[in-house]
Chain A
Amino acid sequence: MRKILLLMLVVCGLLFNDAPLFAQQKTITGTILSEIDSKPLQGVTVQNRQTSQKTQTNSAGFYSIGATTGQQLVFTFVGFGTRTIVAGNALTHNLQMKEENKDLENIVVTALGINRSKRSLGYAANDVKGAELAQTQRDNFINGLAGRVPGVTISGTSGMPGSSTSIQLRGVNSLSGSNQPLFVIDGLPVNNQTFNANNMVAQSENRTVDFSNRISDLNPEDIESLTILKGPEAAALYGIDAANGAIVITTKKGKAGAGSISYSYNYGVEKVGRLPEIDGVYARGTNGILNNNAINAATNSPLYFGPKYPDGTVKYNNLDNFFQNGIVNKHNLSFDGGAGNYTYRLSTSYSTRSGVVPNTKYDRINISLTGTGQILKNLKAETNLQYINTKNQKVSKGANSFYLALLSFPTDSDITDYLTPSGARKKLTTAGTEIENPFFDVNKNKLNDKGNRVISNLGFVYDPLKWLTLTGRLGIDVSSNEYFVLYHPEANPRANFGNTNGSLDISTQVNRVITGQYFATVKQNFLDNKLKLTLRAGSATYVFDDNVYSIRGENFLEPNFNSINNTTTTTQRTKSIKAQKRVVGAFGDFNLSYADFFYLTATGRNDWTSTLPESNNSFFYPSLSTSFVFTELLKKSGITDILTLGRIRGSIAQVGKDASPYSTNPALEAQAITGGGFSYGFTAPNPLLRPEKVTSKEVGMELQFFNNRLSFDGAYYKSKSVDQIINGLRISYGTGFILKNINGGELQNSGTELIVRGTPVKSKSLTWDASVNFTKTDSKLTKLPAGVTEFYNSDTWLFGNVRNGARPGGALTTLTAQFTYQYNNNGQLLINPTSGLPLTTNNAIWPVAGDRNPDFRMGFYNSFTWKGINLNFLWDYKKGGDVFNGTGLYLYNLGLHPRSVQNRETNLTFDGVLKDGLENSTNSTPNNVSIIPYYNNSFYSGSVIDQEFIERDVNWLRMRDITISYQIPARLLGNTKIFKSATIGFTATDLILITNYTGGDPGVNGTSVATGGSGSMGIDYGNLPVPKTFNFNLRVGL
């Protein structure tokens, strides 16, 4: 094959070379390949030292330069150092160049899949190696990013297998819409939706059900690298969907040469995470009187205000009896290889994880095939085809969930005994309504999703001329998913929409995203190759198509058979929801680099979107960024012996955002009521919508010392978003609607990101790499539509009267709360003279009561390599930020929280003054009314306001993951003749959590990612904490 290539090159060389043969000067041609992966290297400078003539290799790595025998040709390429050859008689000189240490890290994949050297970028771009994420053995690779990269906030919904995860780059940019970045695989956007429960016939909130976010379908083992482009600067070329940044994933490709097979196996055990503390001291009842039927009417949970359990009461460890060990099994098998100009990689994976909660399970099969081919000398093709099959069994979360029922289950009852001998639900009380035994819930109610998905990419790169490259890509992402929510006939009617005798909601979703992209790249060098110009222009098309068919049935004929065919036909209802969106974009990008120290990039994009009214549907947004490598100018001073590289950078960019489909046009909804007919939906059509604009500025500095043994990278950014399209703004019903999409809010966002990397030790046997990153983000809501004083998302109003509410002048991450204490003019607590309890104000306009935004976050990464052994671990530190402990408040109201157990039998007097008319006079009456809560449990509903359960400044230090691996030396494998390489390892995730939070896991999220804005991060209500996982793995290469 190589010979053919040579021959081709020679032929080409001859074709290009029409110089007379008798001349001394001849044309030398050749191809420069990377020594690591034999890929052609584009942009290598080839200079004839004697004549100073210069050229660069094209995308096929090909060069052609004039030289006479004996002249020296110098090949230089950023990150690959310099090579010199002496021209001989041969007309062809091929060369393989090797990357210099760490310099591969200096190339990043940016928008449109363009490789650029980091030094030329005017904005921060962080990259993460796929292997680093894969080694954590998490199903959802997004969870592996937490703490690893500055400026990235990850929050998982719960510790359930397959639960959705929210990822935010640089904080909250949208008040109500999605703040999730765009995911791009091999240059093309893919779908990362989380199914919205509102699409079901009768499910209407994202609090109690959670469906996976679709990017978790990806097999982490197929990821070569991942680049995080955080601001709109980085994503200006991707268009509107990248307004929240982009995560650019490059998949693994095959390597030419002998085929190789690698296999890895992982076995893991999961243990339940940090649970809240529950004090089972008092038995059920009220006011100190035993009553096993005492129920909290709001939550249907037992009240524990009875007497202490008598000595000798048989107590059950219900928590331990309920949770089980989760088991993880993963197999990955991949083949790769290639011949000549063609490579392939086939990877298959099967992963199954059963969670710590009975009946939770996540199964995934991935098959991925990647091929690259140099079809013609100047035409290269690349294709990737993935098939993904997922199956996820979940259980309830939030209100009325198994988890709250478990926490409040009486310790003197055996939780495992949940069915009567006849198989019916066993009841705890003789009262009509009560909590459901969690075993009954997880065994009898069903919540699952299944998916089949195919993602296919095809890309062509064609170099018709030396200075011109044409690139075209087409991507198709098709998925079909089924979502299933079943309540058993005996399940809690709150969840069941009444006494329906069982209900089943099924949604089938078929989703298709087609993306097309083509662009031309022109490269020209001037001024002795000192000035390099690149101009790119192209167009992109995005077509989104989503069809959901939902069906609901009630009244099961056979109580334990789970099919829509088992529901009574007259109860069946259907619903169809279609959504379509199309965007056409035209973009241009202009790069200038001067003498490898000054870089300037300007981009511009115009989008035409289908979702805005025709008069407003076209919008242009530019960006400008620059990078200045000042150390290039200091090369002679010797300072570069210490400061290897130093640069400053800056950028300013704008991006527009469009609306959700159908926000502008009215549509009637079919009614399932008696008589049928049509009626308007919740949301007012708004034919006047304009695009929303985000303008972002960023400055940064990067310093590398001692040949990159130590480096520092810092960025500060500020963005402003105007004309925010607020989706579903709740509004006065005077509009005739409940919600309206309007251009309203204005907000600002700023932050600092730092990363320091170093290699403190680097010897032949031992290497220690370490890095520390730091993130601080701040947001401010500067404006809301007239007449609106608070923006809140009702999905986040989960328990008590605390919710995610933002008010102008404050952050976007605040909590608002309904009740506040009353104080006199001296700031003393006012006490009700009759009850002795503090007086509260019931605020119609809720004041801000907390802010979930942390002061800062840090990540600490360490990796030690000693001979074949590698140990690495990642710590994630969060300082500050409030968390609403809704679960704690729930337990407090029931008398189970430690605060409602301690001092219950003591005589308590609140420190304050009586509101007796004298409270603001000089002789106010100190409170003298004392209470013994034991005899009056209204103390536990009247003495605290909900916001007392907002825990202030919650810090955490988590060991996100720790891995130790041992690469078995080749000499030991030599005897086997089968294995080329073998590694064994151990990985633990979420092993250590040190926090001042008194509840379970402060990192959970009260609703699913489908809730927009700042969501329910920092609202802890009824969510299973993230489990600890211990993995043993083995990796062999054949």
Chain B
Amino acid sequence: MMKKNTNIIVIGCLLLTSVSCKKFLDVNKNPNGPSTADPALYLPSIQTNWAAGLQFDGRLIGPYIQNFQHSTAGIAYDIYGYVPSSDFGGELWRSVYWKSGMNTIDLRNAAREQKKWDILGAGLAMQAWGWQMLTDYHGPIILKQAFDPLKNTFDYDPQDTVYAYVKRECMEAISLLDRKTDAIGSPLFAKFDLLYKGDPLKWKKFVYGVLAINAHHLIKKSIYKPDDVIGYVDNALASNADDAIVPYNGTNSTDANFFGTLRGNMGVYGQSGFIVRLTDGTIFNGVKDPRQPIMLNPSTDGVYRGLTPALGQSSALNAATNGVRSIWGTTLGTNTVTLGTPGKYLFQDKVGFPLMTYASLQFIKAEAALVKGDKVLALQAYKAGINASLDYVKTFTADPTAIATFNTQRTAFLAEPSVVPANPANLTISQIMLQKFIALWGYGFIETWTDLRKFDYDPTIFTSFTLPATLYIDNNNVPAYRVRPRYNSEYIWNIDALKAIGGFDANYHTKKLWIHLP
């Protein structure tokens, strides 16, 4: 009885309202944003979040690689541990899967449809770079199953799969960037591409840069081919003008550099003792590195000091004239500073953050040539790397006196045989690693870490590099070799797949990556 009645009602209403009803209910298209956009419009967010990913995570691996240390003693990342049940250290994961992820897929689809081959190439290049960074940081990652809308859990792919995929993606990007027809050269590409203003030639150099990194990181493998690496570098960034740098307006808390004083994240970090030793002459025969006053901060008494990992600095010393200053040059231990406090070097509100530099690639070339046995080429690339870094750092000062001092010190620095050997035969891997470390200080976190892991934090190569006496409790006295996947992404919601790769092991972060095993 009831069913019949309601059926009659329902059918009646359906008949009366079906047409108008459909229209009336059609209000579920989100008015707060378009469902797709011009491919160029996805670029700024993807690019900015790459930088943000590296910077956020730089707070974890910055101490691992002893770029800088935390002001509080015994903090987990100073002793090669991690912060359990925390997303700390998982920002690159967020940038690659979320901020790049579906946005890149949309960008690629739209660019392909609109035949904007240059944007498509750039999109592929960016994604390849993201996978490359992510696998060098975490090891196995989700690749093949990623972004499948029908899946809610995702299997991990081993690192070799990721390496091969990155290479393929780069090759495809190159062929697209070579295309000269159809809708390439859109003004929106020039406007929204923060890295290269829509220049396909520079993008192509960037792709070769990714290929160089991809090929060079296989150095411990039998498949390593130094000639390939050298070839890629030679096609990659040709000078500092080709550096991939993410710019910041720095006008407010949403568009300022994460490392700057406005965002207030870095006041608890101070320069490491290691970088001070590398730049104050301790290691290089008393020759001062001209970059030191631009990159680093002296204590208020004018002496350059650095923090020892895991020891922190007492609040009394923070306030004292011989205390290490924060990386901004302010009192260490507090993120609270007055708005407008300038900060220092890369740790400023409006300074761009380098993703890939000419200098870093030259050091890669130097190492490849050294392995190959071509020491002349090695020294040539090594020198190019040092000079590029010096030139880059020099741009951070406009003071004529400082520039003059810089130039004087530069000459002395380059003349010092322990820095630049006159005879190519005397060039050592340690020299390459140390000069690369200085050049990449403050931005090249993953590349530097890859080097340190490659040589197992060897103090004979990284002269005077010292691990803390006691490492994190789960480490079993082994330093960190990988970072756990993002906690809130994987440890709660993708447990089975993570268990399959041993991600729940207490010492997972100390296991060596595939690239670092023979």
Contact = CB atoms under 8 A, between A and B. Distances in A.
Interface of A: 202, 291, 293-295, 297, 430-433, 489, 493, 497-501, 503, 535, 537, 539, 554-555, 568, 570-573, 576-578, 580-582, 584, 586-588, 590, 602, 604, 606, 608-611, 614, 617, 620, 622, 624, 661-662, 664-682, 684, 729-738, 740, 742, 785-790, 792, 794, 801, 818, 842, 844-846
A790 B85 CA distance: 13
List of 6 A-B pairs having minimum Cβ-Cβ separation, nearest first = A432-B334, A675-B44, A604-B6, A734-B154, A667-B30, A787-B153
B279 interface: no
Most buried by B among A576, A668, A672: A668
B27 interface: yes
A790 B3 CA distance: 40
A570 B495 contact: no
B448 interface: no
B488 interface: yes
Contacts of A788: 152, 492-493
B504 A493 contact: no
Contacts of A580: 27-28, 31
Given A588-B5, A732-B490, A844-B84, A570 B146 contact: no
A294 B72 CA distance: 12
Contacts, number: 297
B146 A734 contact: yes
Contacts of B146: 734, 736
Interface stretch (B252-260, B281-289, B297-305, B509-517): B252-260
A846 B24 CA distance: 46
Nearest to A502: B339
B45 interface: yes
Nearest to A680: B102
B18 to A, nearest CB: 9
Interface string B155-175: 000000000000000000000
A787 B496 contact: yes
Interface stretch (B93-101, B208-216, B380-388): B93-101
B489 A675 contact: no
Nearest to B25: A610
Interface in B1-56: 1-3, 5-6, 9-10, 12-14, 17, 21-22, 24-37, 40-48
A587 to B, nearest CB: 7
A676 B47 CA distance: 11
Interface in B116-166: 142, 145-147, 149, 151-154
A584 B494 contact: no
A497 to B, nearest CB: 4
B31 A578 contact: yes
Given A610-B26, A678-B103, 17 more contacts: A291-B315, A498-B253, A498-B256, A500-B339, A584-B25, A590-B2, A662-B28, A673-B44, A674-B48, A677-B40, A733-B101, A734-B97, A735-B147, A735-B152, A736-B147, A738-B98, A844-B491
Q: How many of chain B's residues touch chain A, expressed as a range?
A: 35 or more
B252 A555 contact: yes
A792 B493 CA distance: 11
A432 B504 CA distance: 38
* Among B28, B29, B103, B341: residue with most chain A CB under 10 A: B28
A498 B486 CA distance: 24
B247 interface: yes
B21 A584 contact: yes
A489 B136 CA distance: 41
6 contacts: A500-B253, A584-B21, A668-B33, A675-B47, A734-B489, A818-B84
Contact of B33 (A555, A614, A678, A735): A678
Contact of A668 (B21, B36, B341): B36
Interface of B: 1-3, 5-6, 9-10, 12-14, 17, 21-22, 24-37, 40-48, 72, 84-85, 93-94, 97-99, 101-103, 105-106, 142, 145-147, 149, 151-154, 192, 194, 246-249, 251-256, 261-265, 267-268, 315, 318-319, 331, 333-341, 486, 488-497, 504
A327 to B, nearest CB: 37
Contacts of A535: 5
B45 A555 contact: no
Contact of B10 (A500, A581, A606, A736): A606
Given A573-B254, A602-B2, A734-B151, A801 B85 contact: yes
B333 A431 contact: yes
Contacts of B98: 680, 682, 733, 736-738
Given A661-B28, A673-B48, A736-B97, A604 B337 contact: no
A32 B152 CA distance: 65
B254 A673 contact: yes
B45 A673 contact: yes
A809 B267 CA distance: 46
A493 B264 contact: yes
Interface centre among B85, B331, B497 (most CB of A within 10 A): B85
Contacts of B496: 787
B25 A733 contact: no
A661 B265 CA distance: 36
A498 B263 contact: yes
Contacts of A493: 264, 335-336
Contact of A676 (B44, B105, B247): B44
Contacts of B12: 586
A305 to B, nearest CB: 14
A606 B3 CA distance: 12
A786 B504 CA distance: 18
Given A584-B21, A668-B34, A674 B247 contact: yes
A500 B37 CA distance: 32
Nearest to B505: A844
Nearest to A792: B492
A786 B150 CA distance: 12
B334 A431 contact: yes
A754 B271 CA distance: 68
Which among A498, A604, A792, A794 has the greatest number of chain B C-beta atoms within 10 A? A498
Contact of B9 (A555, A588, A789): A588
Q: Which of A433, A620, A624, A733 has the most CB of B within 10 A?
A: A733
A85 to B, nearest CB: 38
B41 A740 contact: no
Nearest to B47: A675
A604 B2 contact: yes
A577 B37 contact: no
A432 B25 contact: no
A539 B13 contact: yes
Contacts of B194: 674-675
